[in-house]
């Protein structure tokens, strides 16, 4: 059984509640334990996961958050840099599932976050577990 850290950017709480529900359900169904860590926004997720990884306490990581396009190009920075940071952690050998939604509007976010619809939180948990399985294999 793996112990998984779910790191969530709590900027949009009502959307993250759905992402968390999906991720927790996927991990529970697979029989893995998990903890949740909350950070302010998506840019803090890679750093939080890197710090948690130093503890040696976790086998895999699930990053959850929502970035909605606004009127400025800050969206591109947050979306791109958070994804780059998570990819760097993955390339360094961590099993990280990226569940950061990057969307145009709240309706798109709701569809993707809702466990009864696209269930991207559950998908991110599944991705982390798949990478953990590959890590164990190799």
42 labelled ligand-binding? yes
Return the number of other C-beta atoms located less than 10 Å from residue 17's C-beta. 14
Answer yes or no: 74 catalytic.
yes
44 labelled ligand-binding? yes
Beta bridge partners of 16: none
Catalytic residue among 3, 32, 34, 74: 74
81 labelled ligand-binding? no
Closest C-alpha to 65, from 115, 26, 109, 96:
109
62 labelled ligand-binding? no
65's tokens: 């958050």
Distance CA 53, CA 45 (A): 12
38 labelled ligand-binding? no
8 labelled ligand-binding? no
> Which residues are annotated as part of the binding site?
11, 42-44, 66-68, 71-72, 98, 112
> Which residues are annotated as part of the binding site for 5-amino-6-(D-ribitylamino)uracil?
11, 42-44, 66-68, 98
Give catalytic residue positions: 74
């Amino acid at each position: 059984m793996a112990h998984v850290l779910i790191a969530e950017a709590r900027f949009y709480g009502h959307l993250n509640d759905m992402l968390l529900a999906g991720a927790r359900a996927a991990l529970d169904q697979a029989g893995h334990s998990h903890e949740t860590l909350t950070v302010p926004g998506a840019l803090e997720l890679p750093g939080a996961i890197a710090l948690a990884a130093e503890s040696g306490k976790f086998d895999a990581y699930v990053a959850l958050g929502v970035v909605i396009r606004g009127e400025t190009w800050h969206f591109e920075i947050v979306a791109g840099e958070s994804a780059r940071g998570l990819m760097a952690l993955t390339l360094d050998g961590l099993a990280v599932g990226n569940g950061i939604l990057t969307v145009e509007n709240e309706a798109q976010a709701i569809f993707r976050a809702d466990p009864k619809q696209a269930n991207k939180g559950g998908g991110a948990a599944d991705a982390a577990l798949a990478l953990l399985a590959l890590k164990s294999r190799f």
